[in-house]
Amino acid sequence: MVNKVLLILTLVLSLGLAFFFFRPAFMPGTGSEPGRKDGFRAPPYPEYRIEARYDPRSGLIEGKLNLTYPNPYTFSLKELQFNLPAKALATGAEIKIEAGNFQGRRVEYITTGDKLLFLLDPPLRPQETAEVNIEFHTKVPEVAARLGRFRGANMLAGWYPILAPRTGGTWQGVVMDRGFGDPYFADAAFYRVKLILPTGYKVIAGGRAVDVRAEGRDQVWHFTGEQPLREFSFAAGPGWRYIFGPPGKVELVLAGDEGAGVAVQEGIILATAARALDFFQEKFGPYPYSYFHIALVPLAELAGMEYPGLIFISTLADFSPSVVVHEVAHQWWYNLVGTDQVNEPWMDEGLAEYSTLLFYRYHDPSLYRQRLSAAEGMAADPMFMDRTLKDYPTALAYRQGVYAGGRSFWLELEKKIGEEKLLAFLSRLRRDYLFRRLQKEDLLRELKSIE
Ligand SMILES: [Zn+2]
């Protein structure tokens, strides 16, 4: 209806998206699947099977990856791109490709520091399934980073070749030389991962450990993601403890070093995560895994970091429970509903920030009022919000544009339509875009439908 369209258009214009024109609604197609101009259709998900031996002393991972990937496009693919995120996450980190084959045959591939490109001849036809095997070595440097080892703790994100996502008909790569933000993103896939570590190391991962057994001097861990995940990360340390959260439908486990210096906060972290999981399930819809994991690890530049089924909370940053709430919110806005964090970083960060405020509105009203007035005081320049990660010159500019700008987008919308309608809308996004990606253009089209 015109007035609704006008309302939303006004909002969008006021937030600096004036250059963006609504595209006509797509054909209804199959149920909730909005068609895409790039010929994408609802996927049967890819599946990764990864086997990796990690030696924490040398920081070397020796891995083998098997990916089955049904071509979800209506056209043939002449190449498949994998991203190699390691270099973007830590100085000195690197993924080296040792061997690769496609459909059991050797094919030509090109590898640079941050990507691996298989040239497919013949091309992969629509709905044909590719089987790719890759052998790789990953160097994990001695740094307190998302991919690093520091004071006995091992942080393993971005450690294996991961299929690049496609937008607008092209593979999206890794953003290099940015000390802030999320330098890559990925689409949802099933994961089965076998990890081999020295005996005595405890692992906590984005999957559920379904089998752990000793083999000689090693321990072999088998993980499954239960439902699709956008990536598989883990953390490990010698003599780590597992602490279990309050019993519930989702098993909450925190892992870390006893000497991490945050012992008194473990209870707060677990209790906050439990409340946030319950709250967001009630407001946005189910969290479909039986586990939620928290690793207390040293991260020099970050207070926390989200992965599917797993969050990192830094032992080097000043602790605030709101970091836990923010990272739990990302399970909905990043993992369940994927976004393009490289080109549209305000989408998942804005939603995670809005969700955090919403949590405090119900759980700590005085803190909520404080945070809200601080948020309003930031007066984010709306023109600054809708930029790609590469376009932000500094971490501060990124935070103002992406976090503050993204948050004010949702607060403004809430002022116009009310909390109840906004939550109904967000629950619908959670349902309709589950394990898919919500691009800005999808969001703008969906906003038109708000009653
Ligand atoms: Zn975030």
pLDDT (0 to 100) of residue 171: 97
pLDDT (0 to 100) of residue 5: 36
pLDDT (0 to 100) of residue 385: 84
In the reported structure, the alpha carbon of residue 330 is separated from the centroid of ligand 1 by a whole-number distance in angstroms of 7
Main-chain phi, psi angles of 79, to 5 degrees: -150, 160
3-class secondary-structure state, position 269: helix
Same domain assignment for residues 91 and 215:
yes
244's tokens? 């279990």
3-class secondary-structure state, position 24: coil
pLDDT (0 to 100) of residue 37: 63
332 domain residue, yes or no: no
pLDDT (0 to 100) of residue 198: 98
pLDDT (0 to 100) of residue 262: 54
Rounded CA separation 304/294 (Å)? 10
Pairing assessment for the beta strands 129-139 and 60-70 based on DSSP bridges: antiparallel
Write b or e for each residue in 57-79: b if 16 or more Cβ atoms lie within 10 A of its Cβ, otherwise e. Answer: eebebebbbebbbebbbeeebeb
Report the helix count and the strand count for the chain, using DSSP H and E: 10, 24
Same domain assignment for residues 313 and 243:
yes
In the reported structure, the alpha carbon of residue 37 is separated from the centroid of ligand 1 by a whole-number distance in angstroms of 29
161 domain residue, yes or no: yes
Same domain assignment for residues 152 and 8:
no
Same domain assignment for residues 13 and 142:
no
In the reported structure, the alpha carbon of residue 306 is separated from the centroid of ligand 1 by a whole-number distance in angstroms of 7
Q: What is the CATH number for 438?
A: 1.10.390
Q: What total number of domains does the chain contain?
A: 2
Q: In the sheet that 234-238 helps form, which strands lie side by side, from edge to edge? A: 147-150, 153-156, 234-238, 201-205
pLDDT (0 to 100) of residue 264: 60
Residue 340: what residue type? D
**CA distances in angstroms from 155 to 39, 106, 278, listed in the order given:** 37, 33, 27
Main-chain phi, psi angles of 23, to 5 degrees: -95, 155
261's tokens? 């210096």
256's tokens? 């870390």
Same domain assignment for residues 256 and 353:
no
Main-chain phi, psi angles of 412, to 5 degrees: -65, -45
pLDDT (0 to 100) of residue 165: 97
Q: Which residues are found with C-beta within 5 Å of the ion, ligand 1?
A: 349, 352
Write b or e for each residue in 355-381: b if 16 or more Cβ atoms lie within 10 A of its Cβ, otherwise e. Answer: bbbbbbeeeeeeebeebeeebeeeebe
What end-to-end distance do the CA atoms of the chain give, in Å? Answer: 9
In the reported structure, the alpha carbon of residue 304 is separated from the centroid of ligand 1 by a whole-number distance in angstroms of 8
Mean pLDDT by 10 residues, the chain (451 residues): 40 41 28 54 88 98 98 96 97 97 92 95 94 98 98 97 95 91 96 98 98 97 97 96 92 87 77 97 98 96 96 93 98 98 95 98 97 80 80 88 92 96 98 96 93 60
Q: What is the CATH number for 208?
A: 2.60.40.1730
Residue 183 lies in domain: 47-321
In the reported structure, the alpha carbon of residue 182 is separated from the centroid of ligand 1 by a whole-number distance in angstroms of 9
The answer to whether the Cα torsion of 149, 153, 158, 161 is positive or negative is positive
Per the document, the length of the chain is 451
In the reported structure, the alpha carbon of residue 202 is separated from the centroid of ligand 1 by a whole-number distance in angstroms of 26
Same domain assignment for residues 290 and 183:
yes
What pTM did the predictor assign? 0.91
